[in-house]
Every structure is written in C-alpha cells, then in structure tokens.
Amino acid sequence: MCLILTICAALAFSGAYFYQKKNSAVSKSVFAAMLMFWAASLMWSMDGVASVLEGEGFFDISVEDTILGAIIVASGMFVFALLSFIQKKRTAK
C-alpha cells in the first residue's frame, strides 16, 4: 500500500511541477518533493519485485503497510512545507 500511496503523491507533485513549468514559475520545493516521492516509489517497486521473486504478492495491502505509507507521505509533505518556507524566506530578503 505504501507503493500505491507514494505513486499517487509522486503523480500529484509531477502534475504540479509540469503545470508550474508550463507557466514558467517552477518551484524548487515542488521539484524536490516530486523527486523524493518518485525515488520512494522506485524503492518500493524493487521491494515488490523482490517479494514476487520470493513467491509473495507484489502489493502488500496490510494495515501496517498502509500506516507506513501514510507516514512516508506525511513526512514528504512536511519536507515540502519546510522547503517552501525556506524558499519564501530567501525570496523575501
């Protein structure tokens, strides 16, 4: 489930990034969050492949995995908010 949640977050930030890029106002915090979520998705994809090779399912749809996914998405959103705050402070000077 954490793979599904991180892919959804990566797609959302990718959409925001490409929308900003189209309007020539790219935010470094959006780009960084997009890369973080795509990297997490890639990591859990490799974990899913390893699970399949061991005879298990690709997706882990358990409560613990859902909680882990929610924690990862919340942590990524916190990092995004922190980077946005730092970026706004630098542009205000």
Dihedral of alpha carbons 51, 54, 56, 57, sign: positive
* pLDDT tens digits for range 33-58: 999 999 999 999 999 999 999 998 88
Residue 26 confidence (pLDDT) = 82
Whole-number Å distance between alpha carbons of 58 and 52: 6
pLDDT-based confidence at residue 78 (cuts at 50, 70, 90): very high
Residues 6+ apart with CB under 8 A from 45: 3
